[in-house]
Structure 1
Amino acid sequence: MQNILITGGAGFIGSNLALTLIEKGYNVTVLDNLSEQIHGQNAEENSFLFSKIKNKVKFIKGCVTSKEDWQKAVSNQDIIVHLAAETGTGQSMYQIEQYTKVNVGGTAIMLDLLANNPHSIKKVVIASSRSIYGEGKYWSDELGSEVYPKHRTDEFMVKGDFEVKYDGLSQPLKLLATDENSKIHPSSVYGITKQNQEQMIMTVCPTIGIAPVAFRYQNVYGPGQSLSNPYTGILSIFSTLIRNGKDINIFEDGKESRDFVYIDDVVDATIRGIEKNEANYGIFNVGTGEATDVITVANELIKNYKADTKINISGNYRLGDIRHNFADLNKIKNTLGFSPRYNFETGIKKFTEWVLTQDVIESKYDESISEMKEKGLYK
């Protein structure tokens, strides 16, 4: 199976995946709309990500919401890696139609096409997300069992109490890694759309003779990620603020944490899903298995940039954000032999070295915050 279609293949994950697949001898087709939010203006001439794959892949400028674009892209392909999606937890809470149309609607068009027309597709790999776990999994000493807290609410966060709660319990909960059998309960529209994408593909593909594989990516970062998109990726958001000489405003108390996974590890895991039959019909977490809090992120960036940026822990918060999440990697290790090669300290060093080679981009962070304030999502 030599012909691979990557939707969103000019994006951060997609372009890195495409280059590695080309090196391995695959023929790669990319379907991408070169979104201005990700690539900036005049992307075909100016986008760093697009320039990496330009003239190296068969490129189709189009959108996953177009049946005609899908028909052109799917022709003579063996595998689809479906990465194209609107991303951004906060933005998804008010651009609801757009996120649903692209993420769910685009996936529906693909599956409808595969179910009702001749094709040569044998495997579909879908980019799912850690966001589908919502507030994640915890341990309660009071109950002596695992619990899955509901979404956090204004009632507590407005008082500066940001930890998750579980009805009827008074003692603090202990954070656990989310494994693939953890409860699915997303707390944002983005998370809901990723859940729907995953479930549609894992449900439909086996009925039409296609092997599905789902990867629940944690927070992916590294050289090449968009420095101009103020809606995703605190490493790029903070980096752009630092390089513009602005201070960093940290939400909540700064102790909220994520599992940051380096781009090369994500590409490695994804290729294992493409190439290994053991991956077929499976759902896998992709991360480092370690939680890093936001204060640590900010301090590491400032250290690497040798900046004198001030950190303001503001107590502000966004509705729809989760408190913590990190991945249990036992399944992907045991099934696909995947282990991350980059820890956070090593990965962030490589990321900041790349950022320093890029032009300083005007920060649009304040505009994104104003949007969320207007919608009542930023407090």
Structure 2
Amino acid sequence: MTQPRAFITGGAGFIGSRLAARLVDQGAEVTVFDSFLPQVHAGNPGNRARLEACGARIVEGDIRDRAAVDNALREAAPDIVYHLAAETGTGQSFDLPARYSEVNVMGTAHLIEAVRSHGPQVRRIVLAGTRAVYGEGAHVDAEGRLVTASARDDDAMASGDFEVRDARGTVLTPVATNADCSVAPASIYASSKLMQEYLLQQAFWGTGVAVGVLRLQNVFGPGQSLNNPYTGVLSIFCRQIQEGATLAIFEDGEITRDFVLVDDVVRAFAMMGSAAEMPGEILDIGSGQTATIRDIAGRLLELFGASRDRLRVTGAFRPGDVRHALADISRARDRLGWTPEVTLDEGLARLVEWSRTTAGTEAEAATARVGA
């Protein structure tokens, strides 16, 4: 595919704006469609500035507005659609199930209908999926056999037992997860994201439209909002450290996550668009390595010149949170030729350097919003 026209829903966001700039740099004509929700964009003008600097066409609209989606897609006449628009946030989804369903599920349905009605030239759709659809993910028993993990029990966690067990109560060991693992979404957010996959995979059966899904692990990096309470934990920690706060670590501090830098994620999306044949299998995108939240918090404290002791393990837990997350990225390597290029240590250093220069600007913007 040479010099394609690309349409990116959620294209003014943390990942989307970087993807737009990369595609333009590769010679594509790019239209981004974004609602500019204040929770996501307020106090973080860099994303829009990036779009304006690269020359991407910006359309402000809500994915829940069928007419707006129709009009934007018709005018863009894209060859490829990147669907990144979504409500994110495990905890918030429990409080706002209607909003999450309207944006993630109905918004995807609107996009499908727009493509079928007004996008005859569309040949590829790439969805930003999430590892959250796996729930607790892949585990093995003491004999090394893959087994299904049971959802963790609230009463057990309240007593300080955070281990993942099977149906018989046996403690399991986490292993890297790929799309062979059964889906078991543990939150409204995860369920709505899984429905996006189902809708897209079923809507274009028998057509010339290829659908690709990248299930993303914890994406982080410079440019992630420091003030949005439902954004990534690393940017939240950066803000709290600069405010002098003691970091509150959930559960026993041994929650593990697979953190992948946004630049590597953007590269994976771009490769899905430019590959001679887009992979039909679901691909998992992460670093392929894990770190505990306690360790990550300590590393960030050190990078800011603070004591690693400035954290507190609270024992608190949230519904929908999983214990362990680790991507098996072998299919992304084999099918797409993608592997992460930036180590966690280098990515953390970039995040800290950026947040040092950005925290004051975002804080001023947040204060202005409160004053208004």
Match of 2:78 in 1: 77
Say which SS state the counterpart of residue 203 (structure 1) adopts: helix
The answer for the alignment partner of 2:325 in structure 1 is 325
* Secondary structure of 2:95's aligned partner: coil
Looking at structure 1, the residues matched to 127 and 104 of structure 2 have their Cα atoms a distance apart, in angstroms, of: 11
- The alpha carbon displacement at 1:118 in A equals 5.3
Check conservation: 2:149, 2:172, Cα contact below 8 A. no
Q: Which moved more, 1:209-218 or 1:149-158?
A: 149-158
Closer/same/farther in 2, CA of residues 128 and 93 from structure 1, 3 Å limit? same
Distance in 2 of aligned mates of 1:272 and 1:319: 35
1:147 aligns with 2:147: yes
Say if 1:213 and 1:283, in contact at 8 Å, map to a contact too: yes
Give the structure 2 partner of residue 311 of structure 1.
Answer: 311
* Aligned equivalent of 1:350: 350
In 1, are the aligned partners of 2:250 and 2:317 still within 8 Å (CA)?
yes
Q: Which residue pairs with 1:34 in the alignment?
A: 36
Aligned to 1:51: 49
CA offset digits 1:178-222 (Å, max 9, x no partner) = 011111001011110111101211222233321111000110001
Q: Distance in 2 between matches of 1:231 and 1:117?
A: 34
What does the per-residue CA deviation read over 1:318-373, in whole Å, with 9 as the maximum and x for residues that have no partner?
1110000100011111111111111211111111111111133459xxxxxxxxxx
What is the TM-score when the length of structure 1 is the normalising length?
0.91
Equivalent-residue separation in structure 2 for 1:319 and 1:269 (angstroms): 31
- Whether contact under 8 Å (1:262, 1:347) holds in the other structure is yes
CA distance in 1 between counterparts of 2:35 and 2:249 reads 32
Q: Secondary structure at the match of 2:190?
A: helix
Distance 1:353 1:212 in 2: 37
Measure, in 2, the Cα distance between the counterparts of 1:71 and 1:113.
5
SS class of match (2:204):
helix
1:43-192 alignment, distance < 5 Å: 47-54=45-52, 56-75=55-74, 76-117=77-118, 119-141=120-142, 145-170=145-170, 172-192=171-191
Superposed CA offset, 1:15-45 (max 9, x none): 111111111111110000111001116xxxx
Deviation at 1:119, TM superposition (A): 2.8
Say if 2:5 and 2:29, in contact at 8 Å, map to a contact too. yes
Offset, 1:145: 2.0
What SS class does the counterpart of residue 146 from structure 2 fall into? Answer: strand
Cα deviation 1:194-251 (Å, max 9, x = unaligned): 1110121122223332111100011000111111111121101111111111111111
SS across alignment from 2:277? helix
Q: Distance in 2 between matches of 1:15 and 1:63?
A: 17
Is contact 1:115–1:208 with CA below 8 Å preserved after alignment? no
Structure 1, unaligned runs of 5 or more: 364-379
Distance 2:319 2:345 in 1: 29
Deviation at 1:148, TM superposition (A): 2.0
CA deviations on 1:94-124 (whole Å, 9 max, x unpaired) are 1100001000000011112223445321110
Q: 1: distance between equivalents of 2:185 and 2:64? A: 23
How many pairs align? 359
The superposition leaves residues 296-318 of structure 1 with CA deviations (integer Å, 9 ceiling, x where unpaired) of 11011111111247101010111
What CA distance in whole angstroms lies between the structure 1 residues aligned with 2:11 and 2:119?
24
Within 2, Cα distance between the matches of 1:216 and 1:295? 25
Secondary structure of the corresponding residue to residue 338 of structure 2: coil
* Segment drifting more, 319-328 vs 118-127: 118-127
Q: Which residue of 1 aligns with 2:6?
A: 4
The secondary structure found in structure 1 opposite 2:186 is coil
Amino acid at match of 1:112: E
In structure 1, distance between residues paired with 2:169 and 2:78:
53
| Structure 2 counterpart of 1:299 | 298
Kept in 1, the 8 Å contact 2:279–2:335? The answer is no
Mapped contact 1:244–1:362 kept (Cα < 8 A): no
Is 1:221–1:261's contact at 8 Å kept on the other side of the alignment?
A: yes
- Cα distance in 1 between the residues matched to 2:195 and 2:216: 15
Counterparts of 2:58 and 2:184, CA distance in 1: 36
**Structure 2 stretches lacking a partner, 5+ long:** 365-372
- Cα distance in 1 for partners of 2:108, 2:22 equals 25
Identity of aligned residues (%): 36
The TM-score normalised by the length of structure 2 is 0.93
* 287-296 or 304-313, larger mean C-alpha shift: 304-313
Q: Deviations over 1:246-297 (max 9, x none)?
A: 1111110110011100011101111111111332423100101111110111
For 1:372, the equivalent position in structure 2 comes to: none
CA contact (8 A) 1:278 1:336 kept: no
Farther off after superposition, 66-75 or 2-11? 66-75
Distance 1:74 1:326 in 2: 35
User: Secondary structure of 2:140's match?
Assistant: strand
- Point out the more displaced range, 312-321 or 279-288: 279-288
User: What is the root-mean-square deviation in Å for CA atoms of aligned residues?
Assistant: 1.8
Query: Corresponding residue for 1:367?
Result: none
